[in-house]
Amino acid sequence: MFKVGDKIVYPMHGAGIIQSIEEKAIGDEKQSYYIIKMPGEVKVMVPTAKAEEIGVRNIIDKETAGKVINVLEQECTEMSMKWNKRYRENVEKMKSGNIYEVADIVRNLTFKQKDKGLSTTEKKMLLNAKQILVSELVLAGDKNKEEVEQIVEDKINTSYEMHNAMLENTTQEEISNPKVMKKFIQA
């Protein structure tokens, strides 16, 4: 059970703060709802009885936020070559509410965007995943939205540059080795 003032994450929407808990009648049914203030002056109502079931959780702490930032510095993980399969897999990751998975999506799709571009659908997913990631990191730390966005961009850019440098230094013999190539292929 959450209380007013708790900083929480609502999967697929991002982090927010519970402003109140109110009884609302929708149709013939009265229910208790968390009224959550989300980024951009958006308010969301979540039934208190179903909050945990749908994945509402407390935001991460400062230490975990640092670990999440480290995910952005890592090498891109393997993704499907087919955009629609990749999209479905990423939707499942976002639904999980796991911030590490969201950071993974942001890094992977940003790499993909820099390399080959993204479909319109994946561009929207990248924007949504970034918003979710940034909103939680802002509430978990002591930086504002612009500072967190800059940190995210810097970490991914550094990782992408290192990735490209590794690819440039890969020999033809290594490229012929399937175990080595699997590491470098961005499907």
Q: Model pTM? A: 0.85
Say yes or no to pLDDT of 76 above 70: yes
Confidence at residue 162, expressed as pLDDT on a 0 to 100 scale: 87
Domain spanning 62-184, CATH class: mainly alpha
Fold of 7-58: Thrombin, subunit H (2.40.10)
Rounded Cα distance, 178 and 182, in Å: 6
Sequential DSSP letters for 120-142: HHHHHHHHHHHHHHHHHHHHHSS
* Between residues 13 and 187, the one the model is more confident about: 13
* Between residues 159 and 41, the one the model is more confident about: 159
Q: For residue 177, what pLDDT band results from cuts at 50, 70 and 90?
A: low
* Between residues 156 and 186, the one the model is more confident about: 156
Say yes or no to pLDDT of 134 above 50: yes
Query: Dihedrals φ, ψ of 57, to 5°?
Result: -145, 165
- Note the pLDDT tens digit of each residue in 84-107: 899 999 999 999 999 999 999 999
Q: For residue 173, what pLDDT band results from cuts at 50, 70 and 90?
A: low
The structural domains of the chain, with segments of one domain joined by +, span: 7-58, 62-184
Say yes or no to pLDDT of 68 above 80: yes
Angle value at C-alpha 2, between 136 and 49, nearest 5 degrees: 110
Q: For residue 163, what pLDDT band results from cuts at 50, 70 and 90?
A: confident
Instruction: Work out the percent of the chain whose per-residue pLDDT is above 70.
Output: 90
Q: How far is CA 16 from CA 8, 33, 72, 155, 180, in A?
A: 6, 14, 22, 24, 42
